[in-house]
């Protein structure tokens, strides 16, 4: 695969282009007339007098897979060791084949069910974080729950010392992948930060150009200034994409390790609470109201909900014109089997490990979903 570097407009970020994919065959998504949708969907999308309007619905998901590591010691592209020792058979988590296979099964179960309440075929695109490498994503997509979906992968190795990456899986019948890039954090002296960074994917959905930025921002254990810096950098990448591809839409998704009203997101990234305030190039964050108005989140700490797992959209996706792709609805995906039902952490997400013990759970985060809708002429 040829690798080359393209400069963005912002001097703070280098956009490393990893691939440029040729056009792929794209089938038309399943559509429904307004009177064929579920009552909830029909009431929201509306219909004309004859009930003849038809809409295509697309599910966009994000899920932090909480350390989806294989059992093999990994190396960085430059040949240096990755610090994955706790997820080896001899490591502190005693991470052997049985546990790895169970983790794959559990993760694939959740991913296979995302968006199926409204779209029987499931999500069109899903961003994922806390995966060790491309190999674990390939193993994930081979699981029975996902094997017949036909999902394909966009991935790039990050410089993170543990080898934790982001990735993107998509249905190639609906999304035509065109570019994959990996913006790197640069210091003023030109050196690269060893951080998880973020993956940028561009392509065509429903005949429209759209870009996705999949993120995993610095942890809460670090200074808030690092997440504020991440917000500034992602905003710079977003602005550069909009400059390079006029008229495109951008969706930012990820574990941002901050809530929607924290400075890194509300100010540094500039994601707004109210879509009515958004110009086409601004960012709208529907999760602000989910956390503060509805009082629910995607993870718990000290008995309090946080909502770090967000999917944020540019203003041209919330202008109300359904002749092109539009934001329809956002949801936190929770099933009873994903919840801890006893003990100190009752009501929390059921984790893979807890207090050093393997609990055969799922993740310490719940996944999130946004639906896009478009009228089909």
pTM for this predicted structure: 0.88
For residue 368, pLDDT beyond 60: yes
For residue 21, pLDDT beyond 90: no
pLDDT reported for residue 174: 97
pLDDT reported for residue 182: 77
For residue 24, pLDDT beyond 50: no
For residue 279, pLDDT beyond 50: yes
- Where along the chain do its domains lie? 4-27+59-375
> Domain spanning 4-27+59-375: which superfamily?
Endonuclease/exonuclease/phosphatase (3.60.10.10)
Residue 34's pLDDT band (boundaries 50, 70, 90)?
very low
Q: Which helix (H) or strand (E) holds 226?
A: helix 224-244
Burial 131-151 (b: 16+ CB within 10 A, else e): bbbeebbebbbebebbeebeb
Q: Which residues contact 257 (CB under 8 A, 6 or more apart)?
A: 216, 217, 218, 219, 220, 227, 308
What average pLDDT does this structure show over 109-116? Answer: 98
- Residue 62: count of CB within 10 angstroms of its CB: 31
Residue 163's pLDDT band (boundaries 50, 70, 90)?
confident
Percentage of the chain modeled with pLDDT above 70 = 82
71-94, pLDDT tens digit by residue?
A: 999 987 778 888 999 999 999 999
pLDDT reported for residue 371: 98
For residue 191, pLDDT beyond 70: no
């Amino acid at each position: 695969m040829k690798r080359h570097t393209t400069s963005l407009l912002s001097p703070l970020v280098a956009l490393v282009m990893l691939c440029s994919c040729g056009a792929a065959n794209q089938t038309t998504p399943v559509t429904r007339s307004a009177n064929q949708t579920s009552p909830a969907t029909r009431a929201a999308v509306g219909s004309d007098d004859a009930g003849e309007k038809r809409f295509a619905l697309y599910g966009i998901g994000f899920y932090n897979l909480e350390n989806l590591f294989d059992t093999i010691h990994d190396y960085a592209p430059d040949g240096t060791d990755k610090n994955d020792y706790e997820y080896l058979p001899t490591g502190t988590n005693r991470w052997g084949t049985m546990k790895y296979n169970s983790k794959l099964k559990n993760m694939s179960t959740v991913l296979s069910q995302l968006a199926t309440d409204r779209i029987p075929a499931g999500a069109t695109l899903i961003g994922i974080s806390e995966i060790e490498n491309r190999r674990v994503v390939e193993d994930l997509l081979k699981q029975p729950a996902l094997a017949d979906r036909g999902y394909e992968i966009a991935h790039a190795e990050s410089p993170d010392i543990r080898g934790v990456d982001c990735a993107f899986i998509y249905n190639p019948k609906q999304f035509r992948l065109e570019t994959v890039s990996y913006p790197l954090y640069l210091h003023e002296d030109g050196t690269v930060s060893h951080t998880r960074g973020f993956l940028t994917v561009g392509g065509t959905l429903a005949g429209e150009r759209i870009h996705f930025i999949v993120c995993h921002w610095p942890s809460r254990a670090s200074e808030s200034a690092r997440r504020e810096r991440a917000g500034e950098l992602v905003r710079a990448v977003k602005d550069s994409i909009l400059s390079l591809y006029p008229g495109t839409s951008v969706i930012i998704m990820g574990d941002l390790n901050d809530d929607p009203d924290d400075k890194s997101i509300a100010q540094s990234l500039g994601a707004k609470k109210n879509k009515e305030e958004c110009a086409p190039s601004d960012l709208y964050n529907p999760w602000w109201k989910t956390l503060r108005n509805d009082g629910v989140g995607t993870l718990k700490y000290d008995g309090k909900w946080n909502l770090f797992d967000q999917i944020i959209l540019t203003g041209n996706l919330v202008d109300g014109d359904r002749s092109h792709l539009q934001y329809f609805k956002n949801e936190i995906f929770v099933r009873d089997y994903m919840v801890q039902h006893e003990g100190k952490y009752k009501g929390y997400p059921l984790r893979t490990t807890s207090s050093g013990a393997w609990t055969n759970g799922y993740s310490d985060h719940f996944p999130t979903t946004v639906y896009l809708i478009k009228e089909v002429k």
